[in-house]
């Protein structure tokens, strides 16, 4: 019996030693080396995708350090569960749930608008949320889901919060970027994976886009007190792989998942590098870096290409509707001029971009280069119809209604006509300001001027009607009667009121007919001219 007990104790000791050693080796081999007592009291931290995994652990660590933490999540039920867990673990009551679905640009804008209105500062923005290797799905705006959530959503969110970050400087932007970015590629001809889709390649490309975004944002924010760095949390056991069919299979559950315990980090370990980038005091001046294992590491060469960064920024700005018609981005480079035009204004179609003159090199001042180009824009018909032609048609019709108002109702008729004229003028001014300045008279200018002339005609017509209506005070005709006495009579006389009434009837018919003829001439000429 004693022999059996000794053997049992020996076996248990061996097993315990092996298990304990395995745990120690696992923790030593997977966990990055970082510890700091940096505090975050008085600072506000926003973490996207903070309801689970690395995001929740990052929020938990920041809350422990005294930060005011906002959990920006899509699933509010899980977000509330994470908030309660963090509050109980840290005794920090300043942890809040906010709805932010990165697959919806409208949701992102609502979150940013509410945040900018209610929060006085933003010290750290952690762009953590993401999807990985999912079937081809799209966001509400039609962008491939991995690109839309991992890159475009965070691009839009960061830009909408930039003013708050700048006013709170020194502040930080932390982007989670996988090492898979080194296997990605940016193909502007099929950026949305419409022609060909591979879940793996789409994920890699979205990570490269995030790395390029990090480098470009850091370059643009130099001197503002806002830093931007990318972080690779390492291979971590999170829900990010939930879309991978093999990972969810029975074979993976039996074989792979038990083995991954020895390889993958826990979410808390994965969050270590993120917190390092968010709180480490020595990083306050470092920007545009890629952090792995809590230290700087190499970035894919493609992500350091300034031209690619500028082009991807312009494309992302267009896809997220961050710029209006009157904004054009221009970048200078030391080498020769390379023209690419990837801007699509909301109100215009870009029909052609032509090189007007060949490139000219100027060597006297340092080999500068110059190239001239022309951009052919055509106004979108739908935009013009909705913003100009339909409203102006309605206002012209309202001005015609004034012709049926009795002339003696001076206040009512004048208010109707003057209000119509002012509204029409304001409408046209707004449309003129939204269009590029040109040196020639535009078709829209002709339309605007003609509509104003028609409304002015109703004002002039009414003034004439009033004048005719009050000219009957002139001396009437004197008709002698048979008894020799003179009699005053108006018989046979064409009075001013009669003339005014005739003018009113004529105007009611003339204005619609004249406007109809103008439309035939106008549209025939310009539609034929545009086809040529």
Give 95's Cβ-side CA count (13 Å radius).
Answer: 29
Tokens standing for 57? 């652990």
DSSP assignment, residue 120?
A: S
**b/e per residue 173-189 (b: at least 16 CB within 10 A):** bbbbbbbbbbebebeee
Is 203 marked active-site? yes
As a whole number of angstroms, the distance between CA 461 and CA 457 comes to 6
As a whole number of angstroms, the distance between CA 353 and CA 373 comes to 7
Contacts of 453 (CB under 8 A, 6+ apart): none
Is the Cα torsion angle 156, 157, 161, 162 positive or negative in sign?
A: negative
Tokens standing for 125? 């923005």
Is the Cα torsion angle 158, 160, 164, 166 positive or negative in sign?
A: positive
Catalytic hit among 96, 197, 203, 276: 203
As a whole number of angstroms, the distance between CA 233 and CA 248 comes to 22
> 297 — phi, psi (to 5°)?
-140, 175
Tokens standing for 273? 């590098």
Contacts of 376 (CB under 8 A, 6+ apart): 350, 351, 352, 353, 354
Tokens standing for 255? 């074989």
Residue with tokens 């970015």: 181
Q: Beta 95-99 vs 290-292: how paired, if at all? A: unpaired
For the beta carbon of residue 287, count every other beta carbon within 10 angstroms: 20
As a whole number of angstroms, the distance between CA 476 and CA 191 comes to 86
Q: E strands, 249-347, where?
A: 290-292, 295-297
- CA 225, distance to chain mean position in Å, is 24
Contacts of 188 (CB under 8 A, 6+ apart): 311, 315, 342
Question: What does the radius of gyration of the chain's CA atoms come to, in whole angstroms?
Answer: 36
Contacts of 498 (CB under 8 A, 6+ apart): none
Residues 214 and 106 sit within 8 Å (Cβ to Cβ): no
As a whole number of angstroms, the distance between CA 500 and CA 521 comes to 31
| Positions marked catalytic | 203
């Amino acid at each position: 019996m004693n022999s059996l007990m000794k053997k049992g104790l020996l076996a248990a000791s061996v097993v315990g030693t092996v298990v304990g050693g395995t745990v120690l080796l696992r923790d030593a081999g997977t966990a990055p080396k970082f510890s700091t007592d940096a505090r975050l009291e008085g600072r506000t931290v926003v973490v996207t995708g903070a309801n689970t995994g690395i995001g929740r652990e990052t929020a938990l660590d920041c809350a422990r350090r005294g930060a005011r933490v906002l959990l920006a999540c899509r699933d509010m039920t899980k977000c509330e569960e994470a908030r309660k867990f963090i509050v109980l673990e840290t005794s920090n009551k300043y942890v809040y749930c906010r709805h932010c679905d990165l697959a919806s640009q409208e949701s992102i804008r609502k979150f940013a608008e509410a945040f900018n209105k209610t929060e006085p500062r933003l010290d750290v923005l952690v762009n953590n949320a993401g999807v990985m290797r999912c079937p081809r799905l799209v966001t509400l705006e039609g962008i491939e889901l991995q690109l839309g959530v991992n890159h475009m959503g965070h691009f839009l969110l960061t830009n909408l919060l930039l003013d708050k970050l700048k006013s709170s400087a020194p502040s930080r932007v932390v982007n989670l970027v996988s090492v898979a970015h080194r296997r990605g590629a940016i193909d502007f001809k099929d950026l949305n994976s419409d022609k060909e889709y591979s879940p793996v390649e789409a994920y890699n490309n979205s990570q490269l886009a995030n790395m390029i975004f990090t480098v470009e944002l850091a370059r643009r924010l130099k001197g503002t007190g806002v830093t931007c760095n990318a972080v690779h949390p390492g291979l971590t056991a999170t829900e990010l792989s939930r879309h991978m069919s093999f990972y969810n299979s029975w074979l993976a559950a039996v074989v792979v998942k038990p083995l991954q315990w020895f390889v993958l980090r826990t979410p808390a370990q994965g969050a270590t590098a993120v917190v390092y980038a968010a709180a480490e005091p020595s990083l306050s001046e470092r920007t545009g870096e890629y952090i792995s294992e809590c230290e700087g590491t190499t970035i894919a060469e493609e992500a350091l290409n300034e031209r690619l960064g500028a082009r991807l920024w312009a494309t992302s700005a267009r896809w997220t509707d961050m710029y209006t018609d009157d904004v054009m981005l221009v970048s200078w480079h030391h080498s020769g001029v390379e023209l690419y035009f990837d801007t699509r204004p909301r109100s215009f179609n870009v029909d052609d971009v032509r090189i007007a003159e060949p490139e000219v090199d100027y060597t006297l001042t340092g080999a500068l280069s110059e190239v001239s180009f022309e951009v052919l824009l055509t106004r979108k018909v739908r935009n013009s119809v909705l913003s100009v032609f339909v409203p102006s048609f309605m206002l012209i019709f309202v001005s015609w209604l004034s012709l049926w108002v009795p002339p003696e109702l001076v206040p009512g008729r004048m208010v109707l006509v003057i209000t119509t004229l002012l509204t029409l003028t304001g409408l046209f001014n707004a449309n003129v300001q939204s269009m590029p300045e040109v040196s020639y008279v535009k078709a829209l200018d002709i339309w605007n001027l003609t509509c104003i002339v028609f409304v002015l005609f109703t004002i002039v017509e009414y003034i004439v009607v009033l004048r005719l209506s009050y000219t009957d005070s002139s001396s009437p005709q004197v008709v002698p009667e048979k008894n020799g006495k003179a009699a005053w009579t108006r018989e046979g006389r064409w009075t001013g009121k009669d003339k005014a009434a005739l003018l009113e009837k004529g105007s009611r018919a003339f204005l619609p007919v004249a406007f109809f003829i103008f439309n035939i001439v106008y549209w025939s000429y310009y539609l034929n001219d545009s086809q040529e």
